Chain A
Amino acid sequence: MDQHTIFLVILGMAAVTYVPRLAPAWLLSRRELNPLLARWLSYVPVAVLAALTAQSVLAPAGSVDVAASNLYLWAAIPCFVLAIRTKGFFGVVALGMAIVAGARFFLG
């Protein structure tokens, strides 16, 4: 594909990415939401985050990996404990990175 066509594809990608990002906020932000829809939306954050967390920790390379060799799995456990105890944010990120870096350094 020549660079001009690639640029046109990028324009298309930008459009189809932007519309779903903007449309709901634009259409719903000034409207009284249907109570059932509002309740449903209140579960979206926990569901999105759980889905993203599960895929990034339990399937870091795309397919499910719960073997002992999955370093992310081991690093995630203390991160969960710290996050639940402290409700912290930066501490959890620092702890996770330190465990992953340390494990690679000491265990090879």
Chain B
Amino acid sequence: MEQALERPAGNWAARARESVRLALPIVLGYVPVGFAYGVLAVKSGLSPANTVLMSLMVFAGSAQLIAVGLFAAGAPPLSVVLTTFVVNLRHLLMSAALAPHLASWPRRLLPLFCFQMTDETFALHLSRFQRKDTERGVTLGVNMVAQAAWVAGSALGVASGSLIGDVRPLGLDFALPAMFIALLCGQLKGRPHLAAGVSAAGLALLLPRLGLGQWSVLAATALAATLGIVAESLGRKE
């Protein structure tokens, strides 16, 4: 508490503003998708409390939507948990990729930071961390804003029930794909990285056809990163 008082109030406000500003594209994407999740979850037989609790405790968009589909289909409990595990296993690689940037952080903050690691927050923080911007307040602030948007979207979906608002006329459904494009272009530095990116994209489209749908992002990433190292060594020999 005393430490908090020592900091000028303006800093807090500035950090909060910066967090909201950075998280805005994520918010635009999460509210409508969270809304859709909320509507579907209630329709699939989840209570309003369980629907919102899942957004608070799991916080993983695609896995939650898949789980709701499984609940609706009457899948056994264990298969819902196992599917969630496989779908979210890709975060393993994201967490490993962020690890070197978190070395200066107090260890006790890692459980909080990692709890809110999604595809979108990972992508956003990675580009910041690579610019040596690892300011903790803004980092955790972005995560809080992102999850707040997800939970709020879910709750709105629950509240409006069958009344499905159409977000398509506003183009909100393209906010997250556009964000991925912007962040991807920031990572294309040099030929080995370009090669890794192109092969990951190809594999991500190919692997679902081979029946690896739920493993596709994880497998495409692991294979393409390996190809990147191969491309790097080939480039050196020339």
Contact = CB atoms under 8 A, between A and B. Distances in A.
B224 interface: yes
Given A59-B208, A72-B174, A25 B77 contact: no
Given A29-B110, A30-B103, A44 B94 contact: yes
A97 B230 CA distance: 37
Interface in A1-60: 1, 3, 5-14, 16-18, 20-30, 33, 36, 38-60
B27 to A, nearest CB: 11
B205 A26 contact: no
Given A6-B47, A76-B177, A39 B229 contact: yes
A21 B57 contact: no
A1 B75 CA distance: 9
Given A16-B88, A28-B100, A83-B181, A47 B225 contact: yes
Interface stretch (B7-15, B156-164, B196-204): B196-204
B99 A51 contact: no
Contacts of B45: 1
Give the interface SS of chain B, mostly helix, strand, loop or mixed: helix
Interface in A49-108: 49-60, 62-64, 72, 75-76, 79-80, 83-84, 87-90, 92-93, 95-102, 104-105
A46 B184 contact: yes
A96 B175 contact: yes
29 contacts: A3-B50, A6-B46, A7-B53, A20-B91, A21-B115, A22-B114, A24-B99, A25-B99, A29-B100, A29-B102, A30-B103, A40-B225, A41-B93, A41-B96, A46-B188, A47-B200, A48-B122, A49-B180, A51-B203, A53-B180, A64-B205, A75-B177, A89-B183, A93-B175, A96-B175, A99-B171, A99-B174, A100-B174, A104-B168
Interface of B: 24-25, 28, 45-47, 49-50, 53-54, 57-60, 63, 67, 71, 74, 77, 80-82, 84-85, 88-100, 102-103, 105, 107, 110-111, 113-115, 117, 119, 122-123, 126-127, 168-188, 192-193, 196-205, 208-209, 216-217, 220-221, 224-226, 228-229, 232
